[in-house]
Chain A
Amino acid sequence: MNLLGRVGTGILNGFAGAGGTICLLGKGIYCCKAFIRNRSKIIHQMDVAGVGSLPVVSLVAIFSGMVLSFQTGRELARFHQEEMVGSFVAVPMLRELGPVMTAIIVAGRVGAAMAAELGTMKISEEIDALETMSINPVRFLVMPRLVALVLMLPVLTVFGILTGILGGAVIANNIVNVDYQVFFQNAISVLQYKDIFSGITKSIVFAFLIVGVSCYQGITATGGAAGVGKATIRAVVLSFLFVIMFNFLLLRLFY
């Protein structure tokens, strides 16, 4: 196939994948009517996706907050405005860093696991087995993951934001010489309800993206173990890309 043919095939495959992902998400949302019946699976997924991601989200957030506080504090100190460091940590953490960083960590950890697990199930005919038992694979496999991440990603995001700001406060106090009280007063003074709302909304949108992309790539995996590996890579890379792209789109929506 020549270059033009390959480009054309790639574009068509991209549209097919996007359409398939949207259809899968639609079916997953429709299957949410079986939420009560599948509560034990949802709780299990909340534990895997949410509780399991807490340590890494906290660590990344703390160090991100510390770096942000150090770098902005040093620059602000040149203009003798270091007491403003609280707002320069809290605003980016709440509006951008917290939701995006948390989503990327979860996409790499949880999204990859979803794609790998569902891909393995696909190639070993476990998904076919569910269909032969008249069990809807979307209800059984995708919906619990979707509900779990839509509930847990905002929680993880809030946790990440708070630990990031806390990390920033520690650096501000110990290196930039800004008192904790000044730091937090300054941080709170610039925050708006819109910031909190946009952060939570972004995390919910990111949850849909991560589950949709990862589950679709897993369920459509072919070609044995190598195919599952490729599907997992695609799931993670596409999740990252869509999180970054949608972050910009949502930014324009809110600000």
Chain B
Amino acid sequence: MIDIVDIWKSFDGKKVLSGLNLSIKDGEIMVIIGGSGIGKTVLLKHIIGLLKPDRGEIFINSIPLSGVANFQLEKIRKQFGMVFQSGALLNSLTVWENIALPLVEHTNMSNEEIRNMVSEKLRLVHLHGIEEDMPANLSGGMKKRVAVARAIVRNPAIILYDEPTSGLDPIMAHSIENLIVRLKEGLRVTSVIVTHDIESAYRVADRIAMLFKGQIVEVGTPSEIRKSNNPVVTQFIHGEIK
């Protein structure tokens, strides 16, 4: 379970998160929506401890992130996988080396076992035959799919996605959405997805949370969000400009 309690965060005096509260249950797909530049990625980075709040606390399975030593934080992060918006593949490593990296660093698996695991994850994201390619030679969409493969290679309990379907064609986007749902149904993976694509959110989410002016202004199932009377929510989901 992830509990975000009253977190505040400013950058150079500009408030990004202002007393944000949100709880994410085990095994659910929580989609956080909001406009561009509203702080969705900042929130995601707080959940995995890449950023520390100015005030407030984040609990991962009741463990507060602020009080943990670095080695404990590393242990907590082993439960996580994260897909960055731009992929964040290591450009000095091949596709194979990128995906295999968490296994090489943290397991005693043999090369053969790692190779099989990497191939399996590449198949899940509909990529094969590119193991020896360098990230610089991949399209944006391929980089995103390799990043998804890397995030799921250790079968983590919690996966964070920063705009997982941006840059993908509709077929690949649906494929990634189906993968996210399959991971939840098969392995009870908790997924936290940040996106501004409301249609994608409707398709995959168990619950949707709307981020606006540093706070969560509404949380609900996709049908509840569709029927919401909150003007901020209705403006966002209908794409109205005021």
A33 → chain B, closest Cβ, in Å?
Answer: 14
**Contact A129 B91, beta carbon cutoff 8 Å:** no
CB of B209 within 8 Å of the partner chain = no
Across the interface, B48 reaches (CB within 8 A) one of A130, A132, A136, namely A132
Q: Is the pair B106, A134 in contact by a Cβ cutoff of 8 Å?
A: yes
1/0 contact string of A86-129 vs chain B (CB within 8 Å): 00000000000000000000000000000001001100111011
Which listed residue (A117, A126, A134) contacts B77, Cβ 8 A? A134
- Across the interface, do B77 and A125 meet the contact criterion of CB distance under 8 Å? no
Given A126-B88, A126-B89, A128-B84, verify A133-B50 contact (CB < 8 Å): no
Does A131 make an interface contact (CB < 8 A)? yes
Cα–Cα distance between A117 and B93 once the two chains are bound (Å): 13
CB distance from B85 to the nearest CB of A (A): 8
- Whether B106 lies near A128 (C-beta < 8 A) is no
Judge if A135 is at the interface, Cβ distance under 8 Å: yes
The answer to whether A132 touches B74 (Cβ under 8 A) is: no
A135 & B88 in contact (Cβ 8 Å cutoff): no
Task: Report the minimal beta-carbon distance from A90 to chain B, rounded to whole angstroms.
Answer: 41
CA distance A36 to B118 in the complex (A): 25
- CB nearest neighbor in A for B84: A125
- Evaluate contact between B75 and A124: CB separation under 8 angstroms: no
Output the residue of A130, A133, A136 with the most chain B CB within 10 A. Answer: A133
Nearest CB in chain A: distance from B49 CB, A: 8
- B82 adjacent to A132 (CB under 8 Å): yes
Please state if B84 and A129 are interface contacts (CB–CB under 8 Å): yes
B105, CB-defined interface residue at 8 Å: yes
The contact of B75 among A117, A121, A134, by CB within 8 Å, is A134
Give B41's nearest chain A residue, CB to CB: A125
Within 8 Å of chain A (Cβ to Cβ): is B101? yes
Question: When chains A and B are docked, how far (Å) is the Cα of A120 from the Cα of B102?
Answer: 21
A124→B84 CA distance, assembly (Å): 10
Residues of A within 8 A of B77 (CB): 131-134
Bound-state Cα–Cα, A125 to B81, Å: 14
A128-157 vs B: 1/0 string, CB under 8 Å? 111111111000000000000000000000
* B81 CB contacts on chain A under 8 angstroms: 132
User: Cβ of A124 and Cβ of B78 under 8 Å apart?
Assistant: no
Q: A134-B74, A134-B78, A134-B106 are in contact. Are A129 and B48 (CB under 8 A)?
A: no
B80 part of interface (Cβ distance < 8 Å): yes
Q: Complex: how many Å from CA A124 to CA B101?
A: 18
- Of residues 14 through 42 on chain A, the ones whose CB sits less than 8 Å from some CB of chain B are none
* B123-165 interface code vs A (CB 8 A; 1 in, 0 out): 0000000000000000000000000001000000000000000
Residues of chain B lying within 8 A (CB to CB) of residue A124: 86, 88, 91
Query: Could you tell me the distance between the alpha carbons of A117 and B80 in the complex, rounded to whole angstroms?
Result: 26
- Once A126-B91, A128-B45 are accepted as A-B contacts, the answer to whether A133 and B105 lie under 8 Å apart by CB is yes
| Residues of A participating in the B interface, judged by any CB pair closer than 8 Å | 117, 120-121, 124-126, 128-136
Q: List 23 A-B contacts (CB under 8 A).
A: A117-B92, A120-B91, A121-B91, A124-B88, A125-B84, A125-B85, A125-B86, A125-B88, A126-B90, A128-B45, A128-B84, A128-B88, A129-B84, A129-B89, A129-B90, A133-B77, A133-B101, A133-B105, A133-B150, A135-B101, A135-B102, A135-B105, A136-B74
- Sample of 13 further A-B pairs with CB below 8 A, known A133-B77, A134-B78: A117-B92, A125-B88, A126-B89, A126-B91, A128-B84, A128-B88, A129-B82, A132-B48, A132-B77, A133-B105, A134-B75, A134-B105, A135-B105
